[in-house]
Amino acid sequence: MGGRDIAGDDMDMGGMHEETANKNKSFGERLVSWLGRLHTMVIHFPIAMFIGAFGLELFGLWRRNRDYQHVAHIMLVVGALGAIAAAFLGWFAGGFYLTDRNPILMTHRWLGTSIAVFGVVLAWMAARHRKGPERSRSLYWVVLGLMTLAISIQGFLGGTFMHGGINHLAF
């Protein structure tokens, strides 16, 4: 009834091998593992919110309509909250280490943490500009553009780490 997985390890039907391994772990160890596995599920929402807010801000500029800024601000708040959750769960997934032997994981860890921090900064900047629309939005645009770029790099690094190396997008 058993089989072999891709790495050649014995694998029982129905995840019995993993179940046996989990019996030897404490509740805390199982909880940390479970929280870490939620990271891959949570990350997609803040990515969509930040990139969507950037697109909506651009659309508002193109249409010369400031009403889009309010929706973009809401998206930034939701994206920042989601990024905090994703970063928090990412620390569970990768372990609570300040440095890693794997440079891709280390870069992914700290870029993700920075995205969560700057997501909060962006939401605050958007709120500040809504209260004083005459203020220059140049710094806001630079941070929002850099955030979008950072998220794109972060997604690539996460995919690289999870899917087997830098050539995971080879054509």
Convert 15-57 into a string of H (helix), E (strand) and C (coil). Answer: HHHHHHHHHCCCHHHHHHHHHHHHHHHHCHHHHHHHHHHHHHH
Separation CA 71–CA 75 (nearest Å): 6
pLDDT digits (tens, 9 = 90+) for 104-123: 889 999 999 999 999 999 99
Residue 81 pLDDT: 97
Residue 103 lies in a domain: yes
Residue 23 pLDDT: 77
Residue 11 lies in a domain: no
Q: Could you list the residue range(s) of the whole structural domain that residue 108 is in? A: 39-162
Residue 50 pLDDT: 97
Whether pTM > 0.75 for this model: the answer is yes
Provide the domain count of the chain.
1
Nearest CA to 47 among 77, 82, 73, 93?
Answer: 82
Strands 10-11 and 3-4: antiparallel
Residue 34 lies in a domain: no
Q: What angle do CA 64, 65, 71 make, to 5 degrees?
A: 135
Residue 4 pLDDT: 42
For the chain, which residues score pLDDT lower than 70?
1-21, 133, 168-169, 171
